């Protein structure tokens, strides 16, 4: 429980302490039956060099989330770090930089943050939840924006390991406020305790998107803000698309509503002040293969002759951001 202990202690003193009724058992189960490669990934983490110098490392929580300066690590530390972190591929969400070592991830997640940030309630001093947080890249950006504590949930064990790799180098004053639990939203109680709840890139993976929205609502305290980002299709209030077996090669895509239809769903579930604040066609520069994600990426999921279509003939991904209040 080492990795979770400090976060659980923090939970006791937080407005979310009711989570302690279910979470410790879930974490215990997770650690006793982890994903096949999880132990191997954890061994990789243990071998990362200890950058132990007189000078304290400094964090930068801007577009590239990083820890430095580069001079604190030797060339051989960097080479070792590179070899070990490469074993944690694919690196999807970032970018990150550790003591001069740049991790060029599949996604420019900083671009998503730039689209989201102008529409947020102030995060200063707030308790923030990110549902489906991936590597945790946006958690660090939420801390940069002033959040008191950031809580990420994501069932991806590899993403948890990537988060831990970054967190273990972060100065304690920042690291102690960033938390990641490997649970899905369906395993969370109705806490009604977060000031802001983010869920970006998850709704289309949920088989019951209305239930998912209801769960997000149950996590917010009265007056809190939901920030929702998802793939949408063109159309009006009545347009919802369910792809066949795959969408852009992904097997786990269920419902793609238009942004207007999504706003109707949210209104019917009792959200207030619903706004569609952004629409963006995902570009081949935002999601692409890199040295740190060598598999196929967006370019391979689009029709080579008409990039406005996926290989299956559907509309290529457009992502909308909606904000709402409870
Ligand atoms: N039931 C679930 N509960 C919680 N998380 C889940 C669940 N199912 C899948 N996930 C997680 O949701 C994330 C979706 S990626 C978005 C990452 C980040 N938010 C981003 O916006 O860049 C998709 C994208 O590429 O946009 C993955 O990390 C899953 O493990």
3-state SS of 209-239? HHHHHHHHHCCEEEEEEEEEEEEECCCCCCC
Q: What is the pLDDT of residue 38?
A: 94
Give the pLDDT confidence score for residue 315 in this predicted structure: 98
Summarised one tens digit per residue, pLDDT across range 4-61 is 999 999 999 999 999 999 999 999 999 998 888 999 999 999 999 999 777 889 999 9
- Is 95 close to ligand 1, i.e. is its CB under 6 Å away? no
For position 266, what pLDDT does the model report?
98
Cα(93)–Cα(109) distance, integer angstroms:
6
CB-based contacts of 309: which residues, under 8 Å, 6+ apart?
Answer: 302, 303, 315, 316
Taking only the tens place, the pLDDT of each residue in 219-259 is 999 999 999 999 999 999 999 999 999 999 999 999 999 99
The per-residue pLDDT for 320 is 98
Q: What is the ipTM of this complex?
A: 0.99
Mean pLDDT computed over every residue of the chain: 97
Cβ(34) to ligand 1 under 6 A? no
Distance of CA 246 to the CA centre of its chain: 22
**Can you tell me which atom of ligand 1 is nearest the CA of 135?**
28
CA-nearest residue, atom 11 of ligand 1: 132
For residue 93, the ligand 1 atom closest to its alpha carbon is: 22
Binding site residue list for carboxy-S-adenosyl-L-methionine: 93, 107, 112, 132, 185-186, 200, 204, 319
Query: What is the whole-number distance in angstroms between the Cα of residue 319 and the centre of ligand 1?
Result: 14
Query: Is pLDDT above 60 for 1?
Result: no
How many angstroms separate the CA atoms of 117 and 139, rounded? 13
Largest CA distance in the chain: 62
Helix H segments across 193-297? 209-217, 259-268
Q: Is the pLDDT of residue 322 over 90?
A: yes
Which ligand 1 atom is the nearest neighbour of the CA of 92?
A: 25
Q: How far is the CA of 124 from the centre of ligand 1 (A)?
A: 25
Mean per-residue pLDDT, 175-197? 98
Cβ-proximal residues to 126 (8 Å cutoff; 6+ apart), any chain = 146, 147, 148, 195, 196
Comparing CA positions, the residue from 167, 137, 171 lying closest to residue 154 is: 137
- pLDDT at res. 3: 80
Q: How confident is the model at residue 318 (pLDDT cuts 50, 70, 90)?
A: very high
∠244-284-314 over CA atoms, to 5°?
A: 20
Position 36 scores a pLDDT of: 83
Q: What integer is the mean pLDDT of 267-279? A: 98
Q: Write down the pLDDT at residue 12.
A: 97
pLDDT at 111: 98
Task: Name all domains of the chain by residue range, CATH numbers in brackets.
Answer: 2-325 (3.40.50.150)
Task: Say whether pLDDT at 86 is over 80.
Answer: yes
Distance between CA atoms of residues 133 and 151, nearest Å: 9
184 lines ligand 1 (CB under 6 A): yes
Q: Cα separation of 126 and 147, whole Å?
A: 5
Q: Is the pLDDT of residue 326 over 70?
A: yes
User: Which structure tokens are listed for 51?
Assistant: 């950058």
Name the residue of 154, 197, 212 whose CB sits within 8 Å of the most ligand 1 atoms, as the mutation to test its pocket: 154
Average pLDDT of span 75-81:
97
Q: Which of 131, 139, 148 is closest to 167 using CA atoms?
A: 139
Residue that has been written with the tokens 């909308």 in this structure: 320
What three-state secondary structure class fits 204? helix
What is the rounded CA–CA span in Å between residue 244 and residue 312?
Answer: 9
* pLDDT computed for residue 206 by the predictor: 98
- 195 has pLDDT over 80: yes
**Looking at residue 281, what is its pLDDT?**
97
Instruction: Check residue 55 and give its pLDDT.
Output: 82
* Residue 18 DSSP class: G
* pLDDT 10s digits, 115-174: 999 999 999 999 999 999 999 999 999 999 999 999 999 999 999 999 999 999 999 999
- Whether 94 contacts 104, CB under 8 Å: yes
CB 203 less than 6 A from any atom of ligand 1: no
Which DSSP state fits 117? Answer: G
Both structure tokens of 106:
């599949």
Q: Determine phi and psi for 322, rounding to 5 degrees.
A: -120, 145
Q: E strands along 154-191, which residues?
A: 178-181
> Are 180 and 142 spatial neighbours (Cβ–Cβ below 8 Å)?
no
């Amino acid at each position: 429980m080492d990795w979770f202990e400090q976060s659980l202690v923090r939970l006791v003193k937080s407005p979310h302490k009711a989570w302690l009724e279910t979470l410790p058992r879930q974490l215990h189960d997770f650690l006793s039956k982890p994903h096949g490669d999880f132990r191997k990934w954890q061994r990789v983490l243990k071998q990362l060099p200890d950058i132990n110098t007189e000078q304290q490392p400094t964090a930068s929580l801007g577009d590239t989330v990083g820890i430095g300066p580069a001079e604190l690590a030797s060339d051989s530390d960097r080479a070792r770090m590179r070899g070990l972190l490469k074993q944690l591929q694919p690196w999807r969400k970032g970018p990150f930089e550790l003591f001069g070592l740049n991790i060029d991830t599949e996604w420019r997640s900083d671009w998503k943050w730039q689209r989201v940030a102008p529409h947020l309630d102030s995060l200063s001093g707030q308790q923030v939840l990110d549902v489906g947080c991936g590597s945790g890249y946006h958690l660090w950006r939420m801390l940069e924006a002033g959040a008191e504590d950031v809580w990420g949930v994501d069932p991806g064990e590899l993403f948890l390991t990537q988060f831990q790799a970054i967190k273990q180098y972060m100065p304690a004053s920042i690291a102690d406020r960033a938390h990641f639990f490997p649970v899905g939203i369906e395993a969370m109680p109705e806490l009604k305790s977060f000031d802001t709840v983010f869920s970006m890139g998850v709704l289309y993976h949920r088989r019951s998107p209305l239930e998912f929205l209801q769960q997000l609502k149950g996590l917010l305290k009265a007056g809190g803000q939901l920030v929702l980002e998802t793939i949408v299709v063109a159309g009006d209030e009545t347009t919802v698309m369910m792809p066949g077996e795959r969408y852009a090669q992904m097997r786990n895509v269920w419902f793609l509503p238009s942004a207007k239809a999504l706003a109707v769903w949210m209104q019917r579930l009792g959200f207030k002040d619903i706004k569609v604040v952004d629409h963006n066609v995902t570009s081949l520069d935002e999601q692409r293969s890199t040295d740190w994600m060598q598999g196929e990426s967006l370019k391979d999921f689009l029709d080579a002759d008409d990039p406005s279509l996926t290989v299956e003939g559907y509309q290529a991904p457009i992502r909308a951001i909606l904000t709402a209040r409870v």
